[in-house]
Structure 1
Amino acid sequence: MVATTAERKTGGTAVQVPGRGLSWWLTGASEMAKRNIRTILRSPQLVMFALIQPVMFILLFSLVFGGAVDVPGGDYTQFLLPGIFVQMVLFGSVASATMGMSMDMQDGIMDRFRSMPISRSSVLVGRTVSEILRTVVSLVVMIVVGTIIGFRFLGGFLPAIGGIALLLFFGYSLSWLGAFIGVTASGPAAAQQIGLIWMFPFSFLSSAFVPTESMPGWLRVYADHTPMTTVVNSLRALFSGTPVGNNVWVTLAWAVGIILVTAPLSVRKYASQSR
């Protein structure tokens, strides 16, 4: 399917109007992604936050809890970093997409997009795709800092690349969740509160920072079956060279499921506000 140009008769004059093909849709999505990336780069505070926050979390958790938590293998840094990677992707993808969408809605920028010959869905796809770049930047910083304090990809090159790709895909699915919160919240303040109220228990009630074996039995049942735990366990296995079991497939299922639910809901909500 390709973009086409059609002629529309208006007062006896043929007017060129844009087609509605795949190329047209991809062009709209890419332009929206470029616009969002430029917005991030023009905001030094956003760039610094994306760089400083992961460093702060890595150093605080490794220094404070490093000698107090017994983990399999005895190396808390090796245990901790996959959890920090996932937490930062969670916080960054959801918070950034949530606030970005909500602020664009409040500032009237979405009204300008609605007057442009682009698909409604391409606006949201551009937003979520642009979050991948921010995630990559934060992840590179975390890997560098982690390497300095002793973290290593013990499983080899290909498992490390596979783990990073899995993390980015999971982060992309979370950005759709953030986009949904952003288009449904009444404003940026409400969107921020909605995002924060569940992210902290979601990230801490998992295997990200401590083994779930240390939790009460009833809580462990919950923690062992959250998407946060499955992706963290997947990364630990891939990065350390241990058997992954079915964690990777479960993580992929969670990511695909999140996208299949939140993407249509987000587009529908945005389209309903466009009428």
Structure 2
Amino acid sequence: MEALQLAQLIFFQDGWNRKSMEDGTRHAFSPDYDARRFVGPQDNDTAEYLAKHLSSMCHDTLETVLDYPIMRGEGLENKAIILLYPKGSDVPCAFNVAFFWYLQDGTPCIHYGLFIVTPKHQRKGIQSPMGFVNIYLLLKKMNARTVWVTDLGRSASGSRHFVNFMSQVYPQPKIDHKDVDETKKHAIQLQVAQEFHQRFQKDAGISPQSKLRGMVIQGSNQAGGAVALVRANASTRSRQSVYNQWIDTMCPEPEDEVVMVGQFNIGQWIAREVSKKLW
């Protein structure tokens, strides 16, 4: 789905308004899929519904259920959950759980969060639009034009996608993360990573025994970590070998994960995507 199609989807589709995009109302998302989106605390029935379907999709995809609070219908206070349904079906086939938060100084942040696409619906180009829509609508909710976004993992292809999707991304293959001057230049990204690691270990499936070293969480997937998810993501190598080599360098141990921090601005993103098509 192209950037302009996404913009049209969000800005012009009848019935898409903030309230109906936070209360689980079902809307057309694309020719093949509908979407429901739930934001913040939910009543018991809705929390149980979400737990049932999130855990089911997780098991269908990873052959296990991740030990995240959301899989039990818990910890929904700062979560934005978008579910995709095939047309004509009441059984969801994909989801993104993002969460919104603020630095101590009030700077808005969003964690890109957990993506699960069940096997039958993979490679259909739905993951990026899900993430785009969720982030954009969170920007509106937070009354922000620009937001810092975090991503956590050890997927080479996921890292390449994040670099292409965001601006001011740190760390990334083009930047020497061991260079002291580069570290000083990216102090805000380091601050975001530090607060993220301190505050959201349980929400992000990070082991409580982990240590943040620069932008790498060492031991993220020891006891209490999201081992199954990382095993699945580790197999997603990139077509660009530089990202494969970079992930191997950043995360030499299988328990390690890298925190990538980038900035998202809807206007700049659309302008960048349009320029790619024109030039």
TM-score, with structure 2 as normaliser: 0.25
TM-score, with structure 1 as normaliser: 0.25
Structure having the larger proportion of residues in helix: 1
Bigger Rg over Cα: 1
Structure having the larger proportion of residues in strand: 2
Q: Which of 1 and 2 has higher RCO (CA within 8 Å, sep 6+)?
A: 1
